[in-house]
C-alpha cells in the first residue's frame, strides 16, 4: 500500500526503497528487541487466528537454538474462541517450540496438555512466575491481543 501511494505522488523508486529499508516497526507491531542475552519479537498490538498462525510460523523459522512463545488471548472471537485457541495451541506444539506460555482466560481453557505449556491468568502472573526463571540465549515471541498487554512482560524484563 505504501509503495502504491508513493508512486501515485511520483516519488522516485530509490527514495521508496530507502524508506522501506530504514523502516523500524513500533507500537508493539513486529518489533525485534534485544535485552541482555535474549531476543524478543514483540507483536502484541492485535491478534486473530491468521496473524497468530503467520507469527508462529515465522518465529519457528528464525535461526535460534531456543524458542519460547508467549501467546496472549485473541479477544473478540465470540463463539469461535475455544476452537481457534485450541487450533493455535496445537500449531505451536507442532512447530516444536521449546516452551509455550499462555496468557489469558481463553488460552486457560485449551485442552492440550504438555510439559512445555504453562498457563497464566494475566501478564502480571507471568511476570511474577518468570522472576524465578533463568532464560538466556533465547528467542521469545510475544503475540496476543492488545488487551492482554504482553508488552508489560518485556518492559519489566528490560528493567531487571
Residues 42-62: pLDDT tens digits?
998 889 999 999 999 999 999
Question: Over the stretch 128-137, which tens digit does the pLDDT of each residue have?
Answer: 999 888 888 9
The predicted model gives 78-87 an average pLDDT of 95
With 90 as the cut, is the pLDDT of residue 159 above it? no
Q: What CA dihedral angle connects 99, 103, 108 and 109, to 10 degrees? A: -100
Looking at every residue in the chain, the average pLDDT score rounds to: 86
Domain locations in the chain?
26-159
**Using one digit for the tens of pLDDT, what is the confidence trace for 2-21?**
677 777 888 888 877 776 55
**Does the reported pTM lie above 0.95?**
no
Tally of CA atoms within 13 A in the half-sphere of 43 that contains its CB? 19
The share of the chain scoring above pLDDT 70, in percent, equals: 87
Compute the chain's Rg from CA coordinates: 17
CATH of domain 26-159: 3.90.190.20
Q: Where are the beta strands (DSSP E) in 2-158?
A: 31-35, 38-43, 67-72, 99-103, 117-120, 139-143
Amino acid at each position: 500500500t505504501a509503495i502504491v501511494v508513493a508512486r501515485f505522488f511520483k516519488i522516485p523508486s530509490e527514495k521508496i526503497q530507502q524508506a522501506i529499508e530504514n523502516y523500524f516497526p513500533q507500537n508493539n507491531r513486529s518489533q525485534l528487541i534485544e535485552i541482555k542475552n535474549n531476543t524478543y519479537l514483540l507483536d502484541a498490538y492485535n491478534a486473530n487466528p491468521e496473524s497468530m498462525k503467520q507469527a508462529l510460523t515465522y518465529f519457528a523459522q528464525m535461526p535460534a537454538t531456543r524458542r519460547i512463545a508467549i501467546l496472549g488471548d485473541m479477544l473478540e472471537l465470540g463463539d469461535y474462541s475455544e476452537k481457534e485457541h485450541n487450533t493455535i495451541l496445537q500449531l505451536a506444539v507442532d512447530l516444536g517450540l521449546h516452551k509455550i506460555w499462555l496468557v489469558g482466560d481463553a488460552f486457560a481453557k485449551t485442552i492440550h496438555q504438555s510439559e512445555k505449556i504453562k498457563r497464566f491468568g494475566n501478564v502480571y502472573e507471568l511476570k511474577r512466575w518468570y522472576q524465578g526463571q533463568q532464560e538466556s540465549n533465547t528467542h521469545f515471541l510475544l503475540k496476543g491481543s492488545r488487551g492482554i498487554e504482553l508488552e508489560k512482560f518485556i518492559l519489566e524484563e528490560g528493567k531487571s
